[in-house]
Amino acid sequence: MLYAKVDITSRKMIGVPFELPKSYSFDSGAVISNFDKLSDSELFTYGIVPIITEDVDLQFYSVSDECMYDPHKCQFTHNVYLKPLPEAVNECSDIIDVEASNVCAKYMTSGIGQEMRYMEKFNQAVAFLADPSDPYKFPMIMEEAELCEMTYTEKANEIISTRSQWIQLAAKIESIRVGYKKVLKSLGSVSDIISKKDEALQLLREI
């Protein structure tokens, strides 16, 4: 934590912020040992007070370099400002996008070419059920069915059913993602934007 000397009359900072040293020398020549162990109330008797930064989500707030003296709490406090609406909308939209992707990842294996493999397997399943006379045309169905000790027809039906369930799930995720991002753009305050972002994240995490 940083500290600073304060002129109680003008409420201005004297000099620049500093970390408490182990020993402190005064202009009079006096030296205090274990100065960094003193309590804030003890430090105040020497005109030294802490500099506090409010506990805020820095994604949506900007912290000013300037400090204001708070005589009631005997401390300097950094001024905190809400970020502009467009910036808050963009950042909250990005957070929703990331969470939507994380939810999708719970139900679909990620990896290079994985989506193409899923699609090819689905296409083979549909084609096999339409004409199962030559299963050797559908190696992905054959090999996976044999590994799972299932018939080719059972495996093909399972693949199609799984895809159908995934499409319904993806539709729900997308409705939340796209819908809430649209709502964010219509809101008039950063606090409302943050609240809606949190609401979207909660809905996504419940899927």
First-last CA distance in the chain: 42
Residues in the chain: 207
pTM check: above 0.85: no
CA distance 32 to 23: 5
- Pairing assessment for the beta strands 3-7 and 12-18 based on DSSP bridges: antiparallel
Check: CB of residue 96 under 8 Å from CB of residue 180.
yes
Count CB neighbours of 43 within 10 A.
Answer: 19
Domain ranges of the chain: 3-82, 85-205
CA distance 117 to 111: 10
- Pairing assessment for the beta strands 23-25 and 75-82 based on DSSP bridges: unpaired
pLDDT by residue, tens only, the chain of 207 residues: 889 999 988 888 898 889 999 999 888 888 999 999 999 999 998 899 998 876 666 667 776 777 888 888 888 887 777 778 998 899 999 999 999 999 988 887 766 678 888 899 999 999 999 999 999 999 999 999 999 999 999 999 999 999 999 999 999 999 999 999 999 999 999 889 999 999 999 999 999
Check: CB of residue 188 under 8 Å from CB of residue 86.
no
